[in-house]
Amino acid sequence: MTLTRRIGRFLVNQPHLINWGIALAILTLPVVVWLDMMAITDQSLRRQGQALDAVLDTVRGYYARNVIARIDPDTPTIATHDYHDLDGAIPIPATMSIELGDEIAAHGLDVSYRFASDYPFDGRDQKLLTEAETTALDRYRNGATDHYMFFRGEAADWRSHHVTMVTPVIMEEACVACHNSHPGSPKTDWQVGDIRGVQSYSISQPVAVSLMSFSHLLAYMIVAGTFGVVFALHQLRLANRFKKISEELASNNEFLAGISMKISRYLSPQVYRSIFSGEKDASISTERKKLTVFFSDIKDFTQTAETLQPEELTALLNEYFTEMSTIAAKHGATIDKFIGDAIVAFFGDPETLGAVEDARACVRMALEMQERLGQLEQEWRARGIDRPFRARIGINTGYCNVGNFGSEARMDYTIIGAEANLAARLEAAAEPGGIVMSHETYAHVRDFVVAEPMPPMQFKGISRDVHPYAIAPGRNGPLPPTETSTDGKSLTVHLDRLDDITRAQLEALLGQNQKT
């Protein structure tokens, strides 16, 4: 295992250490900056002390050689710029400044000094003024009042930093008298306060020296940078891991979605949703509920099958089941199973609107199925099928056991009970294209269907007499456009059953009421 992986695993197991590390870094930064500021100040004071010592040593040595050593008690002492050529002569201030500047520069310090003027005495070396000195001299003579002017050094580059400080040389009364009377002076009309020249001080310092002054900050940045790199590598590793996990999850989700879509084709939509939403467990369990059971069968299916090729029969039967399943889903039926050419469905589980509304929805579904089969009969005949499907439907409302039946290894969601079997018995008593329902079912739907009572019947497993009601083929006519609830408190309008004019008038009226 690599070091970064060990560190990454340690950080994953101890995530609070990252927060503590960030807090420590934030608290440490001001301390580090303060320590570096103290170090910079200390180094600056040391350099100033060394420079001052070197300057004083230069001044003392120059004064001892060129002033004290030249004084002769027997010879008059005079101050002149060419004092080297005269016994007992000492340098005038300008000469002393120029020579001291040369000696200070010769010490190898990062400081140089120049006494520069555009009016040099005759016989002296003419020193060209730098750009900074020329600019400062013009400004002073034009009335600038700043005693100090700072310029970026001409030798400055990315490796070192240079600053030039320029100050004016102002003529005083003694200087005016000397210059105006001296035979070597190029100008003899000086006045007190005139700017004769400038003094320039050039100070340089390598960038590396300043950079090393931030030793604590550099160490802090190295430590923080190292930690940042390790943390970034850790985050990158986690990101790659999360990416792989996300890709695996996406692949698994895609696989599961495909599987679930395939499973949904074998289950009723209500059952599918209840299982995948967690409302129902995949365990053997049943409960007793009042359901409305639907059973349909194709009349003379065997004879019809004998007249068709297997491929034609399969296509026709699948088309029939598709059409009927679409209508069942529209009305909220739970399709139990397909048994050959028969359809078993029920209302009341896993979703229910109450026993009354479940019965009404089941009958509406049956009516629409028979209506659609009438339309399909015409289409099938136009395609050359001389014996199209005609279905018989039986409906019963009663208590059944509903839930998962079977073994722990394999189970089936279905219904059992005498009331479920009664729906199949009623279907057998119906005419092709007709519907037969039990008395309890009819009691819930008699406000919108026309059904004829049939003679009482007895069936095996049913202890009571059954009083069925039959809707003969074509007797009920189209479905009603409106339905009133059994308690009379609500009215349902089916817009798809209204004619175009009535539907437009109703929609306009409803829209007008919403605005008001």
Q: What is the pLDDT of residues 463-475, one digit of tens each?
A: 888 999 999 776 5
**What local confidence, expressed as pLDDT, does residue 265 receive?**
66
Among 50-54, 211-215, 397-401, the minimum mean pLDDT is found in 211-215
Helix axes 215-264, 16-66, angle to 10 degrees: 160
Query: Is the backbone peptide bond immediately before 350 cis, with ω within 30 degrees of 0?
Result: yes
Query: Percent of the chain having pLDDT more than 70?
Result: 77
- Sign for the CA dihedral angle at 235, 238, 240, 246 comes to negative
**What local confidence, expressed as pLDDT, does residue 440 receive?**
93
**The two three-digit tokens of residue 344, written as one number:** 């078993």
3-class SS at 167?
Answer: strand
Specify the pTM.
0.50
- How confident is the model over 214-228, as a mean pLDDT? 74
**What local confidence, expressed as pLDDT, does residue 487 receive?**
55
For the chain, which domains are there?
A: 11-211 (no CATH), 284-479 (3.30.70.1230), 481-515 (no CATH)
| Pairing between β-strand 195-206 and β-strand 111-117 as defined by DSSP bridges | antiparallel
For residue 71, pLDDT beyond 60: yes
What is the DSSP code (8-state) at residue 353?
Answer: S
**What local confidence, expressed as pLDDT, does residue 221 receive?**
75
**What local confidence, expressed as pLDDT, does residue 138 receive?**
92
Backbone φ and ψ of 61, nearest 5°:
-65, -40
**What local confidence, expressed as pLDDT, does residue 13 receive?**
66
pLDDT band at 293 (very low <50, low <70, confident <90, very high): very high
pLDDT in tens, 151-181: 886 666 666 677 888 999 888 887 888 788 8
- How far is residue 202's CA from residue 163's CA, in Å, rounded to a whole number? 6
For residue 397, pLDDT beyond 80: yes
Closest CA to 471 of 332, 363, 345: 363
For residue 426, pLDDT beyond 80: yes
Structure-model confidence comparison of residues 138 and 128, the more confident one:
138
E-state strands within 69-159? 78-79, 89-90, 111-117, 149-152
